[in-house]
Amino acid sequence: MRSFIDTHCHLDAPEFGDDRRQVRARADAAGVALCVIPAVASFNFDTVRELAHAQSDAYALGIHPLCTGQAQEDDLVALDAQLHAHRDDPRLVAVGEIGLDYFVPELDDARQTHFFQAQLQLARAHDLPVIIHVRRSVDKVLGQLRRAGGGRPWRGIAHAFNGSEQQAQACIALGLKLGFGGAVTFDRALQLRRLAATLPLEALVMETDAPDIQPEWVYRTREAREAGAPQGRNEPAELPRIAEVIAQLRGMPVAALAEATTSNAMAALPRLTGLLPSIRPAA
């Protein structure tokens, strides 16, 4: 069976409260061997860790840019303490979800930048990769990575990448893999589909961002929702079908894409290798 890693999946979200176990079982049956569950704020640090252990998955700890309006300096202290306390936990694979967001206009630029900078420093201090939110912020994220990098490359993932080819190459040059998910399944996503088709295969990892970023066959338009249709819920079992779209765009077998992107995920988040020891990471 093809083996996938969903490198970004919020399985702790309330949308999965009623059938989380069944959701994970469907993913397993579909060939999703591992999910990475990123935290978004200090209130769910324990939740994602406990869920990852209960489901034999992986997790990341961090403060999401959309949560920086409520975050305090004590949350950074708590993050540092958690990273230290669980430093030997093989299921703790990254600092994330962190980053910058310029899609939501009411976010305070200085505040989210402060928390991003502080978390990059923690990632370096704890020698962990990063899972980075880059919505309409790729250039500013790249600037922060260069300033915080000290001349050393990064490991990690630019989550839900949707930038230009130049920005993609800049992320790759800094050591990041690029997360592709449901957005690539829409015919109108011409630039994103070009990138999925033409970027180096070793730069791509698969993700769902479930329950969000629904693929085309799950998404419901605003008109449909206003007419009474429920919003579609994304889940990790959709990942193989999303991969089929990318494989078709690249003109390659989906099994080869599964093997490559799983290997790439382990290169980006090296502790995943110990969780799937039968698969070799990319160089």
Spatial separation of the C-alpha atoms in residues 161 and 24, rounded to whole Å:
25
pLDDT given at position 226: 67
Task: Name the amino acid, one letter, at 150.
Answer: G
Spatial separation of the C-alpha atoms in residues 180 and 275, rounded to whole Å:
22
Task: Name the amino acid, one letter, at 16.
Answer: F
Return the domain boundaries, the chain.
Answer: 4-275
Dmax over CA atoms of the chain, in Å, equals 54
84-130 pLDDT tens trace:
999 999 999 999 999 999 999 999 999 999 999 999 999 999 999 99
159-181 pLDDT tens trace:
999 999 999 999 999 999 999 99
Mention every residue, 6+ apart, whose C-beta is less than 8 A from residue 180: 161, 192, 196, 204, 205, 206, 207, 242, 246
* Bridge partners, residue 35, by sequence: 6
Task: Kindly give the pairing relationship between strand 4-6 and strand 92-99.
Answer: unpaired
CATH 3.30.110.60 fits 4-275, yes or no: no
Residues of the chain with pLDDT under 50: none
Task: Kindly give the pairing relationship between strand 204-206 and strand 92-99.
Answer: unpaired
Cβ contact 48:61 at 8 Å: yes
pLDDT given at position 1: 57
pLDDT given at position 279: 76
